[in-house]
């Protein structure tokens, strides 16, 4: 299955790409990852099932207005770092710094504007 980025790059409108973007369960966060080498989130819904140590990470695609991604941290004890791509920010945090997604929480990452992600955390 193609991810949202591939569908949008092929000319599909963002909303349609999101609808077809699919989901993936139990990906492994990149150990000691950085913005440049972390696993790229390619599906609309992703559950990070393996977080070996706090700070293991994933990276969001470039923020395009109207895009959204749901990322669930399957670890009950460790934070997963969610980076933005390039100069994108996540809740005002520099993409290269990353957003700490708490253990057992799900974040809905929404791009209201280019290069800007906002996140709403589950209770």
pTM confidence score: 0.85
Q: Give the list of residues 6+ apart from residue 29 with CB closer than 8 angstroms, or none.
A: 38, 39, 48, 50, 51, 52, 56, 57, 58, 80, 81
pLDDT tens digits, 6-62 = 777 777 776 666 666 678 888 999 999 999 999 999 889 999 999 999 999 999 999
> SS3 of 111, please?
strand
> SS3 of 51, please?
coil
Pairing of strands 106-113, 116-121: antiparallel
pLDDT tens digits, 89-117 = 999 999 999 999 999 999 999 999 999 99
d(CA 31, CA 9): 28
Dig out the tokens for 45 from the structure: 């819904």
Asked if 57 and 29 count as a contact pair (C-beta separation under 8 A), the reply is: yes
pLDDT tens digits, 58-93 = 999 999 999 999 999 999 999 999 999 999 999 999
All structural domains of the chain, each given as residue ranges with its CATH number in brackets, are: 4-121 (2.60.120)
């Amino acid at each position: 299955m193609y991810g949202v980025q591939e569908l949008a790059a092929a000319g599909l409108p963002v909303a349609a790409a999101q609808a077809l973007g699919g989901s993936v369960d139990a990906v492994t966060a990149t150990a000691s990852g950085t913005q440049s080498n972390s696993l790229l989130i390619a599906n609309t819904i992703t559950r990070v099932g393996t977080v070996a140590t706090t700070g293991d990470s994933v990276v969001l695609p470039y923020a395009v207005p109207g895009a959204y991604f749901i990322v669930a941290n399957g670890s009950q004890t460790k934070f997963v770092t969610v980076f933005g791509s390039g100069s994108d920010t996540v809740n005002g945090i520099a993409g290269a710094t990353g957003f700490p997604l708490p253990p057992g929480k799900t974040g809905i990452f929404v791009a209201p504007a280019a290069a800007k992600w906002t996140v709403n955390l589950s209770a």
